[in-house]
């Protein structure tokens, strides 16, 4: 009330409306007359122990039931009657439950679907019943609106049986839509049936035959001419609705844009989500794993809606991840890698406990330009909405009318049986303590709801307090509606144990009133409300807003059946296109803001047929992986690093394979060498004259005995000056303890015919686990010397290790390299955990300098001073990250070399800033001969103390598994939850510990400012969605500017955090000024959806250009550049090229022996029709000129 008074006073004093502060005003029940309370009284049979869904709550239904132009409200109750409230205007409501006959028939009601089921112009109610054990006591209710009585109150009659939909399953929510495109509304019912003594969270063989009782139902609308209303026929089995799932919500939308509605179930417990793709013949097929890489573990509510204004529907699903440290530590279960293994064994999706925004990346492109299904990337962490605690409803709409859709999350749970201290107490007391006493010990999760303002470009800001939604509650179902017809959306929430909330939106009262557009529908006689019609708004700035008329959104609720678009400052919509469910369309132009349109089906026309194509003919690349015949697919046994060091952030054993390119057999064709993991051979792919590749194994019948090492970086170079490339294979991984001989690198001499023999005397003994290998003539003596990067000390993360410089002392055909690190680059001793490096002449002095980077490291530059590498202060020293990869190029066309560094990305549980870095502590803290690694991050302390403090990232259970002494130090989870990092170890324990920070996770552009100084800026947002590994810098669109091709992901991340899997590969077009524009899959043709690692370029037949991408435990992918680009070979000794264009521009390009993550591309320069001349340069100032 104080807030309301202050807002009113401000309005009186200034003559203006309210501002963003207090955007929503919680109206008093005394003023609205809405007194509905979903009261649940536990007893011996109805409690959280015996009925897991007891607190899943009730829903909200919005509809104009008396046709007076105002939205009325219907609330479903569990142990109380449902209630119907008529909107009497000015935010006043009247309870008409009893006279309208809508009390709920005594069932335990869950969801409510509002629909005009008989198309008579009167809105009806379909209520889902659940909970009660006997089927006769949980028949769903269909309240058919009979029209008003003499007092104008609508009268309803339960006609579920007459309509054939008195369904007795444990139903959650109902969805009316036209699945068979016959014009009428069919019915899908989501089911959540937990069977007693069947543990819903235990892995088991999935039931895919429709026999499990927790399988959803599909009813077909078979209109009865005699009865003059629909009669529904259950067709679940014949339609293919067969997959079990504990379903809280479903989403009805055309996910693949083929004109037929599909169904996405979001499921609780262990059950995977189910995506029923409409086969356009009355049947469906589950394809969830082809479209989504993972899902929420405990999906509550969900919605399919365009969140980022690209015209494609995204998916949001909510879970239970806590925002603050206290709740995290009290809730989070211990992590186990066996969850992944069980998911694979039993055929489940990978699932993680957090909210997700699955952003639609558009259609994929397969081999030979075939257009495939869309693919989705979870960007919940990136958007900042992943953690809103025990959430139920995601309510997605433009609540501030700025043109971007915001999100409201309802929240809370009366009995938190996931509280770890309670679980510990229950395990001890279960046979000793009465059940009621145990129930009284369960803490509550009564916290506020959340609202996130959409800033555009997938950026969200928590506005819960500013917008006035910070009242603690147990909130479940929710809906939005413009209750007062003022042009903004009000919010209605169904609470457990307290009166329902009505939040009045005051946007329309603001000084600068943003614009909006409201759209209603008048369909045909079979679908009078036009359910399923889709509207697209097109604006002059290229933005597209899209929304489908589907009122069943969020969680067990129905929103208003009128589409709402916020327009911000826009006063005119350039065009509006509506597509009705049968494909007919209507186009309106120059639609003014502030209006309410009613789109009439009779004005729609069948669009002219457009010659469609199943091929993506305008992509920059075409997938030609078929030239590899049937392979290869990278193989690797799944070593579980977390069994050695429980608390590390990710695995170190699955970081390959690397690729090297060269002409192995001197036939003028370039071949590939791909590294093998332990037990699997290194592979050579030999290019044939017809452009195909044949496979050749380095180790026949490989096994863990004759191939006991793990190849990482691969490099082909002529070590013995006999004119053919020899192979250096760096050995790495984390499968064997430090110092093992399996970490000795392997060097193979080529006999000139592509046959290799191992030379064990060519290089010094070095049992460091390594990453990449690079070559350059560092001392200008005419031969190639090597840099070899140390990646980690196995089983001792994050202990730092060394990198090495090997001088080439070969002569008379005998290969010998000498370790000169201590004299040539002493700073490389224990420099860190190096992931990638480059020999590059950043200052154009003719000497190859060294740039390297790695995990918990900055990007470091070393200047070559006559063969010795001296550290350079560049201005980047504080930009520590989890840097995976480096690539170089003259991206701003100024004649010097710039760089791009691939990082972990910003779509992660860890979100460091310079002031609040991610930190790791390393030492054998408990002196048990096992090296400990502890990750920390800065978290909000609690809901009442929002101070950011440094806390351990791991759970109590996990830290105890690593250091058993922590069990006695922190006897309860609450004790551990209160402990900051500095309370974990004594000063003596911290002595000599390794402490490393990472302050930046953005993949970044490093501009060469000259004089050894560099500036770093983040790459475009689309490149921050996942870890970046493979990179190539080439001009792929023939505009003379360097573009960027990327692959990435990291599947080895810690289980609770979940895989970094949002990348599908990407092309970013350079503008020649250091700027980049990301392309979609359909624009680029690049689709690398797996655990992408190395990325190389190859000269194909007739000097065409191929790119090859490796994927850990996945297939090699090969792409051909479509443009008329030619690969020009670079001669030995040449290190750079100056490229002159016909328009007068000039660009420098370096040529490497190895660049990019575990990659050694062909030494070629790509030219197109814009190139006039190339001047190649090498050591000693030698040059060669080619003109075109």
User: What gap in Å lies between CA 384 and CA 366, rounded to an integer?
Assistant: 32
514-553 tens-digit pLDDT: 999 999 999 999 999 999 999 999 998 888 899 999 999 9
341-357 tens-digit pLDDT: 999 999 999 999 999 99
- Cβ atoms of 678 and 993 closer than 8 Å: no
What six digits make up the tokens of 1080?
A: 């979609």
977-1024 tens-digit pLDDT: 999 999 999 999 999 999 999 999 999 999 999 999 999 999 999 999
Average pLDDT, integer, range 277-288: 98
Q: Report the range of poorest mean pLDDT among 226-235, 627-636, 649-658.
A: 627-636
Whole-angstrom CA distances from 40 to 131, 409, 488, 912 are 13, 22, 33, 43
- What's the confidence (pLDDT) of residue 1? 36
Q: Quick check: 11 pLDDT over 60? A: no
* Of residues 23 and 630, more confidently modeled: 23
- What's the confidence (pLDDT) of residue 454? 98
632-683 tens-digit pLDDT: 799 999 999 999 999 999 999 999 999 999 999 999 999 999 999 999 999 9
- What's the confidence (pLDDT) of residue 7? 41
Whole-angstrom CA distances from 1178 to 141, 663, 725, 848, 1010 are 82, 21, 19, 11, 21
- What's the confidence (pLDDT) of residue 610? 64
Average pLDDT, integer, range 230-235: 98
- What's the confidence (pLDDT) of residue 399? 98
- What's the confidence (pLDDT) of residue 15? 34
Torsion sign over Cα 421, 425, 430, 433: negative
106-158 tens-digit pLDDT: 999 999 999 999 999 999 999 999 999 999 999 999 999 999 999 999 999 99
- For residue 603, count CB atoms less than 10 angstroms from its CB and return exposed for 0-12, middle for 13-18, buried for 19 or more: exposed
468-522 tens-digit pLDDT: 999 999 999 999 999 999 999 999 999 999 999 999 999 988 878 899 999 999 9
User: What gap in Å lies between CA 537 and CA 691, rounded to an integer?
Assistant: 47
Whole-angstrom CA distances from 833 to 220, 475, 640, 857, 1161 are 60, 47, 20, 8, 24
Percent of the chain predicted with pLDDT > 70: 98
Q: Quick check: 366 pLDDT over 60? A: yes
Total residue length of the chain: 1188
775-812 tens-digit pLDDT: 999 999 999 999 999 999 999 999 999 999 999 999 98
User: What gap in Å lies between CA 850 and CA 864, rounded to an integer?
Assistant: 7
Average pLDDT, integer, range 568-594: 96
Torsion sign over Cα 89, 91, 94, 100: positive
Give, as one character, the DSSP assignment of residue 790.
E
- Cβ atoms of 797 and 790 closer than 8 Å: no
- What's the confidence (pLDDT) of residue 2? 40
684-711 tens-digit pLDDT: 999 999 999 999 999 888 999 999 999 9
- For residue 183, count CB atoms less than 10 angstroms from its CB and return exposed for 0-12, middle for 13-18, buried for 19 or more: middle
Q: For domain 641-910+999-1187, give the CATH superfamily.
A: YVTN repeat-like/Quinoprotein amine dehydrogenase (2.130.10.10)
Residues of the chain with CATH 2.130.10.10: 24-319+354-520, 641-910+999-1187
377-386 tens-digit pLDDT: 999 999 999 9
- What's the confidence (pLDDT) of residue 1179? 73
User: What gap in Å lies between CA 1022 and CA 1080, rounded to an integer?
Assistant: 10
1131-1181 tens-digit pLDDT: 999 999 999 999 999 999 999 999 999 999 999 999 999 999 999 998 767
Binning pLDDT at 50, 70 and 90, where does residue 630 land? Answer: low
Average pLDDT, integer, range 587-614: 89
User: What gap in Å lies between CA 1047 and CA 1026, rounded to an integer?
Assistant: 10
Q: Quick check: 10 pLDDT over 50? A: no
- Cβ atoms of 1176 and 675 closer than 8 Å: no
Of the candidates 129, 125, 115, 222, the one whose C-alpha atom is nearest the C-alpha of residue 176 is 115
User: What gap in Å lies between CA 1124 and CA 895, rounded to an integer?
Assistant: 25
910-959 tens-digit pLDDT: 999 999 999 999 999 999 999 999 999 999 999 999 999 999 999 999 99
Q: Are strands 1159-1160 and 659-662 parallel, antiparallel or unpaired?
A: parallel
User: What gap in Å lies between CA 920 and CA 935, rounded to an integer?
Assistant: 4
- What's the confidence (pLDDT) of residue 612? 61
- What's the confidence (pLDDT) of residue 916? 98
User: What gap in Å lies between CA 353 and CA 1148, rounded to an integer?
Assistant: 48
Q: Quick check: 5 pLDDT over 50? A: no
Average pLDDT, integer, range 160-183: 98
The dotted CATH code for 24-319+354-520 is 2.130.10.10
């Amino acid at each position: 009330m104080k807030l309301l008074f202050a807002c009113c006073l401000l309005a009186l004093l200034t003559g203006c409306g309210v501002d963003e502060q207090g955007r929503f005003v919680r109206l008093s029940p005394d003023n609205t007359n809405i007194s509905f309370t979903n009261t649940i009284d536990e007893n011996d049979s109805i409690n959280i122990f015996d009925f897991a869904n007891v607190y899943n709550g009730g829903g909200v239904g919005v509809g104009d039931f008396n046709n007076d132009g105002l939205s009325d409200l219907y609330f479903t109750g569990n142990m109380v009657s449902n209630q119907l409230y008529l909107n009497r205007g000015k935010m006043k409501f009247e309870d008409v439950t009893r006279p309208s006959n809508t009390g709920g028939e005594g069932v335990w009601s869950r969801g409510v679907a509002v629909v005009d089921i008989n198309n008579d112009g009167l809105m009806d109610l379909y209520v889902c019943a659940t909970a009660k054990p006997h089927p006769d006591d949980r028949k769903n209710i269909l309240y058919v609106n009979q029209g008003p009585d003499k007092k104008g109150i609508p009268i309803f009659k339960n006609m579920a049986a007459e309509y054939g939909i008195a369904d007795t399953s444990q139903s959650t929510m109902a969805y009316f839509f036209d699945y068979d495109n016959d014009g009428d509304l069919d019915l899908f019912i989501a089911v959540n049936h937990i069977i007693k003594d069947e543990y819903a969270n235990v892995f088991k063989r999935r039931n895919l035959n429709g026999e499990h009782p927790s399988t959803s139902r599909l009813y077909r609308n078979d209109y009865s001419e005699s009865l003059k209303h629909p009669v529904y026929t259950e067709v679940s089995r014949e339609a293919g609705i067969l997959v079990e799932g504990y379903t809280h919500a479903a989403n009805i939308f055309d996910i693949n844009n083929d004109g037929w509605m599909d169904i996405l179930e979001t499921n609780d417990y262990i059950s995977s989500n189910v995506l029923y793709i409409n086969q356009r013949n009355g049947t469906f097929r589950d394809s969830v794993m082809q479209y989504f890489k993972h899902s929420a573990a405990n999906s509550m509510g969900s919605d399919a809606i365009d969140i980022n204004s690209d015209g494609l529907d995204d998916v949001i699903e909510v879970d239970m991840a806590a925002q603050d440290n206290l709740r995290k530590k009290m809730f989070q279960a211990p992590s186990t890698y066996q969850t992944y293994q069980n998911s694979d064994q039993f055929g489940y999706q990978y699932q993680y406990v957090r909210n997700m925004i699955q952003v639609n990346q558009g259609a994929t492109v397969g081999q030979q330009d075939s257009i495939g299904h869309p693919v989705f990337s979870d960007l919940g962490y990136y958007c900042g909405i992943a953690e809103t605690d025990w959430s139920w409803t995601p309510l997605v709409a433009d609540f501030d009318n700025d043109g971007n859709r915001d999100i409201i999350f309802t929240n809370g749970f009366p009995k938190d049986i996931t509280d770890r201290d309670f679980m510990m107490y229950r395990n001890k007391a279960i046979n000793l303590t009465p059940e009621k006493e145990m129930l009284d010990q369960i803490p509550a999760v009564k916290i506020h709801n959340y609202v996130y303002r959409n800033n555009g470009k997938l950026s969200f800001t928590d506005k819960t307090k500013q917008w006035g939604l910070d009242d603690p509650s147990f909130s479940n179902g929710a809906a939005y509606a413009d209750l007062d017809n003022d042009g903004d959306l009000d919010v209605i929430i169904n609470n457990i144990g307290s009166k329902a909330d009505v939040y009045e939106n005051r946007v329309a009262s603001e000084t600068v009133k943003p614009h909006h557009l409201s759209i209603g529908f008048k369909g045909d006689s079979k679908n009078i409300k036009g359910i399923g019609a889709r509207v697209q708004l097109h604006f002059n700035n290229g933005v597209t807003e899209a929304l489908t008329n589907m009122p069943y959104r969020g969680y067990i609720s129905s929103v208003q059946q009128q589409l709402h678009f916020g327009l911000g400052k826009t006063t005119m919509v350039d065009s509006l296109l509506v597509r009705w469910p049968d494909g007919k369309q209507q186009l309106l132009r120059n639609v003014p803001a502030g209006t309410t349109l009613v789109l009439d089906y009779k004005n729609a026309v069948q669009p002219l047929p457009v010659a469609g194509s199943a091929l993506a003919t305008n992509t920059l690349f075409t997938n030609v992986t078929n030239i590899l015949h049937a392979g290869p697919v990278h193989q690797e046994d799944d070593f579980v690093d977390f069994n050695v060091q429980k608390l590390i952030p990710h695995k170190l054993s699955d970081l390959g394979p690397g690729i090297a390119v060269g002409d192995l057999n001197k036939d003028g064709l370039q071949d590939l060498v791909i590294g093998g993991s332990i037990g699997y051979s290194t592979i050579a792919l030999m290019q044939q004259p017809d452009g195909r590749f044949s496979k050749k194994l380095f180790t026949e019948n490989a096994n863990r005995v004759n191939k006991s090492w793990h190849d990482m970086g691969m490099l082909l170079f002529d070590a013995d000056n006999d004119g053919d490339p020899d192979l250096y294979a760096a050995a790495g991984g984390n499968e064997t303890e430090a110092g093992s001989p399996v970490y000795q690198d392997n060097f193979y001499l080529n006999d000139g015919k592509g046959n290799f023999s191992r030379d064990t005397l060519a290089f010094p003994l070095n049992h460091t686990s390594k990453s990449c290998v690079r070559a350059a003539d560092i001392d200008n003596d005419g031969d190639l010397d090597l840099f070899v990067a140390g990646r980690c000390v196995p089983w001792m993360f994050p202990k730092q290790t060394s990198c090495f410089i090997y001088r080439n002392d070969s002569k008379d055909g005998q290969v010998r390299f000498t370790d000169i690190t201590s004299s040539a680059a002493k700073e490389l001793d224990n420099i860190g955990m190096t992931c990638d490096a480059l020999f590059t002449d950043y200052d154009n002095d003719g000497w190859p300098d060294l740039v390297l980077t790695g995990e918990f490291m900055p990007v470091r530059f070393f200047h070559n001073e006559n063969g010795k590498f001296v550290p350079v202060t560049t201005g980047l020293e504080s930009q520590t990250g989890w840097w995976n990869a480096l690539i170089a190029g003259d991206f701003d066309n100024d004649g010097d070399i710039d760089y791009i560094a691939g990082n972990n990305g910003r779509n992660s549980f860890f979100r460091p800033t310079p002031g609040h870095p991610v930190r790791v502590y390393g030492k054998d803290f408990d002196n048990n001969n096992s090296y400990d690694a502890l990750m920390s991050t800065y978290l909000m302390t609690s809901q009442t103390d929002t101070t950011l403090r440094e806390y351990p990232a791991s759970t109590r259970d996990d830290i105890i598994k690593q250091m058993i002494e922590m069990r006695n130090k922190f006897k309860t989870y609450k004790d551990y939850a209160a402990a900051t990092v500095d309370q974990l170890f004594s000063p003596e324990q911290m002595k000599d510990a390794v402490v490393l920070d990472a302050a930046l996770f953005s993949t970044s552009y490093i501009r060469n400012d000259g004089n050894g100084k560099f500036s770093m800026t983040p790459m475009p947002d689309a490149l921050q969605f996942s870890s970046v590994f493979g990179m190539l810098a080439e001009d792929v669109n023939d505009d003379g500017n360097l573009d960027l091709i990327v692959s990435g992901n990291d599947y080895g991340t810690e289980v609770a955090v979940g895989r970094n899997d949002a990348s599908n590969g990407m092309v970013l077009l350079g503008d020649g000024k250091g700027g980049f524009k990301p392309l979609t899959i359909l624009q680029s043709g690049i689709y690398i959806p797996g655990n992408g690692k190395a990325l190389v370029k190859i000269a194909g037949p007739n000097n065409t250009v191929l790119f090859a991408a490796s994927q850990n435990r996945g297939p090699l992918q090969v792409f051909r550049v479509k443009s008329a680009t030619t690969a020009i070979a670079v001669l030995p000794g040449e290190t750079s090229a100056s490229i002159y264009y016909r328009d007068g521009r000039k660009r420098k390009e370096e040529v490497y022996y190895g660049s990019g993550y575990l990659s050694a591309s062909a030494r070629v320069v790509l030219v197109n029709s814009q190139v006039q001349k190339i001047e190649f340069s090498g050591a000693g100032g030698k040059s060669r000129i080619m003109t075109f």
